[in-house]
């Protein structure tokens, strides 16, 4: 298999081997083909971006990775093994955490509780033990709490820990969602348009957090983004999609000069 | 007339504080049962948006199963454990047969499905255990049946031991449930699921597991309520009514709120007893307990459509 080795990025960081590989993925809804025959991979420790104009199939691709959609054709390899069709919660338990384009938080719960749900994948104690707050369950809760506090601290949301999420402004909600995903200590972190609808300042903050997360925890990140500028600065490698097809794949500089990509973004008739 | 409404009752309360205490105590006993059963509704509603019409019949079914198993010669406490097992199997079957195929359907369809469950349990219960009234196996379970007489301010206060047991057990169950929901990961999962299914899936919450769990909790609550109420009124299909008493509690407390269910239950228990004794019996010939709670809930709804503790309804226009 080619490309299983790591590589060195433009800014000199060493990237690990292949963590996930998508082979010839096709996704059809009835007669509509949302994704046709796309292959790419994600390496350990890199920031991988998927970009493309509206309706290119980026979100569908993310939904396939996180198990919300099952591809019509194609294979998904994860940590060296082929992944059978799975439910989203099973995928989550395998170390794939995600955020959503239109924010999916538990609005009625506090920030702290929301982030705590991120630790559900690390829950081992039985329900009975939990109900009675027994030994193992108690230790687990303490340990989870500690990890969560660290994430909260890292993303600088300490001051809103006890605030119900429903009351927060948009930019902060996005950050809480990131915190929840991060609390799971995921092998892959999927971000669906983390900067959608943000102003310049919020975008800068979010970019900084994404870079810090990658740097500090070594988390592999796969993100979808609209904003070309942001993506080019953030990511190590970029997949470009248009009308469900892959039209480019490589480091930002290479993709930027790809004629197909330029056409797609400038709108050349198909 | 105005004097009878606004003065005499309060004068009576002050004149005989021991009797007032007795009334409040009895209100507390039913109130805590209302609270418990409302909690069963709230848990299921919060985690699946289903208004569980079958909660009442689950009370009857649990009590019938317990008494029925005992009548086959099974010792009382083993029968309790077996009944819990039956309630667990019931929860699993409901999730598998009714809820899973109906995921994503409009709320009203799921509501209708719970009516279906109700009818099924009524039929099933009658076939297996027969329709006649039965006596709750109170003594066999070791629940004390005597009473204690206190004399506050030289008056008289009679506390049935059965009632004391009910209050202690129900309060303990409510406390355990609250701790479970607020301080454990599984409890958080239950609360989370009601807020956003998609998000819940993305953090690794299994809908099925949580649903089986909340229906099982509802089953446990049904059994406890069934034992408590059955010990006072006998075990029959009329027990179902106690669950409908939880409806005004829910209107008052809001379907979303756990605190609301508890406070609402206690409030209704206390107020309906007070009203019955001091206003209902002297002025209206009694038996006001059947409707008082509903009228109270109606009045609350007029001013606060989301209930006293429900989530604020915000309409974006």
Q: How confident is the model at residue A238 (pLDDT cuts 50, 70, 90)?
A: very high
Contacts of A37 (CB under 8 A, 6+ apart): A24, A25, A26, A73, A74, A245
Residues of chain B with pLDDT under 70: 310-317
Query: Chain A contacts of B186, Cβ < 8 Å?
Result: 123, 127, 130-131
Q: A164: which strand partners?
A: A110
Residues of B whose CB is below 8 A from A184: 203-204
Interface of B with A in 244-273 (CB under 8 A): 256
Q: Give residue B221's pLDDT.
A: 92
Quote the DSSP letter at residue A108: T
Alpha-carbon distance A257 to nearest alpha carbon in chain B (angstroms): 36
Q: Which residue has the higher pLDDT, A33 or A2?
A: A33
The three-class DSSP label of residue A111 is: helix
CA dist., res. A221 & res. A211, Å (int): 10
The pLDDT mean for chain A works out to 87
Residues of B in contact with A137 (CB under 8 A): 184
pLDDT in tens, A101-158: 888 898 888 999 999 998 888 776 565 566 565 666 777 788 888 999 999 999 999 9
**CB-CB: which of A89, A97, A123 is closest to B185?**
A123
Classified as helix, coil or strand, A193 is: coil
Q: A133 touching B, CB under 8 A?
A: yes
Mean pLDDT (whole number) for A12-24: 88
Q: For A256-268, what is the mean pLDDT?
A: 79
Residues of B in contact with A142 (CB under 8 A): none
| Cα distances (Å, whole numbers) of residue A260 to A38, A236, A246, A248, B243 | 16, 20, 10, 7, 66
pTM score, two decimals? Answer: 0.81
Q: Can you give the residue ranges of every domain in chain A? A: 1-95+186-270, 105-185
CA A8 to chain B, closest CA, distance in angstroms equals 32
Confirm if B240 and B59 have CB atoms less than 8 A apart: yes
Average pLDDT for chain B: 86
A positions 82-111 inside 8 Å of B (CB): 87-90, 92-93, 97-98, 100, 104-109
Nearest to B40 by CA among B257, B230, B215: B215
Cβ–Cβ below 8 Å for A120 and B176:
no
Torsion sign, CA atoms B110, B114, B119, B123: positive
List all residues 6 or more positions away from A226 whose beta carbon is below 8 Å from its beta carbon. Answer: A51, A193, A195, A196
Chain A residues lying within 8 Å of B306, measured CB to CB: none
At A138 the pLDDT is 76
Residues of B in contact with A114 (CB under 8 A): 192
Task: Give the C-alpha separation, A64 to A62, whole Å.
Answer: 5
What pLDDT, on the 0 to 100 scale, is given for residue B85?
A: 95
- Chosen for mutation from B184, B196, B256 (greatest number of chain A CBs closer than 10 Å) is B184
Q: Kind and range of the H or E element at A18?
A: strand A18-29
Q: Mean pLDDT, to the nearest integer, of A198-209? A: 89
Query: How confident is residue A222, by pLDDT bands cut at 50, 70 and 90?
Result: very high
- Per-residue pLDDT, A2: 45
- pLDDT per residue as tens digits for the range B219-264: 999 999 999 888 888 888 888 877 788 888 888 887 778 888 889 9
> Which domains does chain B carry?
2-303 (1.10.3470)
Min Cα separation B133/chain A (Å): 35
> From the centroid of its chain, how far is CA B79?
22
pLDDT at B9: 83
Asked casually if ipTM beats, i.e. exceeds, 0.85, the reply is no
Tell if the CB–CB gap between B204 and A132 is shorter than 8 Å: no
B188 compared with A221, residue with greater pLDDT: A221
The fold for domain A1-95+186-270 equals: Rossmann fold (3.40.50)
DSSP chain B: -HHHHHTHHHHHHHH-HHHHHHHHHHHHHHHHHHHHHHHHHHHHHHHH----TTHHHHHHHHHHHHHHHHHTT--HHHHHHHHHHHHHHHHHHIIIIIIGGGTTS-HHHHHHHHHHHHHHHHHHHHHHH-SS-B---TTTTT----EEEE-GGGS-EEEEHHHHHHHHHHHHHHHHHHHHHHHSHHHHHHHHHHH-HHHHHHTT--HHHHHHHHHHHHHHHHHHHHHHHHHHH-BSGGGGHHHHHHHHHHHHH-TT-HHHHHHHHHHHHHHHHHHIIIIIHHHH-S-THHHHHHHHHHHHHHH-TT-SSSPP-----
Query: Among residues A244, A234, A232, which one has the least CA distance to residue A270?
Result: A244
Q: What is the pLDDT of residue A134?
A: 63
Is the model's pLDDT at A264 over the cut of 70? yes
The rounded distance, in Å, linking the Cα atoms of B142 and A194 is 60
Q: Residue A1 pLDDT > 60, yes or no?
A: no
So what's the pLDDT on residue B188? 85
Mean pLDDT within A17-30: 92
Closest alpha carbon within chain A to B182? A113
Q: Which residue of B has its CA nearest to A106?
A: B195
- Which of A87, A121, A141 is closest, CB to CB, to B183? A141
Residue with tokens 């957090």: A209
Please judge whether A68 and B192 are an interchain contact, meaning their C-beta atoms are less than 8 angstroms apart: no
Q: Which of B62, B193, B32 is nearest to B137 (CA)?
A: B62
């Amino acid at each position: 298999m080619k490309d299983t080795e790591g590589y060195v990025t433009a800014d000199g960081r060493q990237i690990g081997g292949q963590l996930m590989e998508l082979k010839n993925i096709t996704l059809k809804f009835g007669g509509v083909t949302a994704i046709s025959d796309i292959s790419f991979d994600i390496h350990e420790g890199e920031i991988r971006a998927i970009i493309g104009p509206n309706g290119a199939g980026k979100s569908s691709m993310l939904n396939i990775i996180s198990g919300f959609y099952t591809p019509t054709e194609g294979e998904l390899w994860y940590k060296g093994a082929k992944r059978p069709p799975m439910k989203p919660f099973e995928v989550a338990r395998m170390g794939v955490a995600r955020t959503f384009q239109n924010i999916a938080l538990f609005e009625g719960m506090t920030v702290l509780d929301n982030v705590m749900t991120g630790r559900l994948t690390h829950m081992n104690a039985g329900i009975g033990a939990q109900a009675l707050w027994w030994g193992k369950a108690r230790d687990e809760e303490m340990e989870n709490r500690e990890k969560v506090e660290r994430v909260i601290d890292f993303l600088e949301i300490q001051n809103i820990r006890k605030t119900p999420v429903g009351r927060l402004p948009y930019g902060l909600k996005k950050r809480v969602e990131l915190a929840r995903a991060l609390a799971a200590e995921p092998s892959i972190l999927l971000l669906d348009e983390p900067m959608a609808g943000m102003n310049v300042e919020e975008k800068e903050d979010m970019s900084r957090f994404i870079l810090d997360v990658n740097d500090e925890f070594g988390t592999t990140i796969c993100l979808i983004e609209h904003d070309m500028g942001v993506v080019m600065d953030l990511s190590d490698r970029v997949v470009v999609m248009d009308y469900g097809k892959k039209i480019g794949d490589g480091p930002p500089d290479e993709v930027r000069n790809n004629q197909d990509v330029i056409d797609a973004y400038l709108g050349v008739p198909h | 007339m105005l004097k009878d409404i606004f003065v005499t009752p309060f004068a009576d309360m002050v004149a005989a504080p021991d009797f007032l205490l007795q009334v409040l105590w009895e209100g507390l006993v039913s109130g805590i049962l209302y609270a418990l059963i409302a909690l069963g509704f709230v848990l299921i509603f919060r985690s699946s948006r289903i208004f569980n019409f079958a909660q009442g019949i689950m009370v009857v079914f649990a009590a019938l199963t317990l008494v029925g198993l005992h009548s086959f010669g099974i010792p009382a406490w083993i029968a309790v454990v077996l009944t819990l097992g039956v309630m667990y199997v019931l929860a699993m079957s409901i999730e598998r047969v009714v809820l899973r195929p109906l995921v994503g359907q409009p709320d009203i369809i799921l509501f209708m499905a719970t009516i279906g469950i109700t009818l099924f349990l009524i039929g099933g219960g009658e076939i297996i255990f027969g329709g006649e009234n039965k006596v709750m196996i109170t003594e066999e379970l070791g629940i004390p049946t005597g009473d204690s007489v206190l004399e506050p301010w030289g008056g008289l206060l009679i506390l049935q031991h059965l009632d004391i047991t009910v209050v202690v057990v129900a309060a303990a169950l409510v406390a355990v449930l609250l701790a479970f929901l607020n301080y454990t990961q599984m409890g958080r999962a239950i609360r989370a699921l009601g807020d956003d299914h998609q998000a819940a899936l993305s953090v690794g919450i299994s809908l099925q597991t949580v649903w089986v769990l909340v229906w099982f909790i509802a089953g446990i609550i049904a059994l406890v309520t069934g034992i408590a109420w059955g010990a006072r009124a006998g075990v029959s299909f009329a027990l179902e009514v106690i669950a409908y008493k939880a409806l005004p509690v829910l209107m008052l407390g809001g379907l979303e709120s756990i605190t609301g269910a508890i406070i609402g239950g206690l409030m209704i228990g206390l107020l309906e007893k007070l009203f019955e004794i001091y206003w209902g019996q002297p002025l209206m010939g009694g038996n006001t307990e059947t409707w008082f709670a509903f009228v109270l809930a109606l009045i609350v709804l007029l001013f606060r459509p989301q209930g006293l503790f429900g989530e604020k309804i915000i309409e974006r226009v």
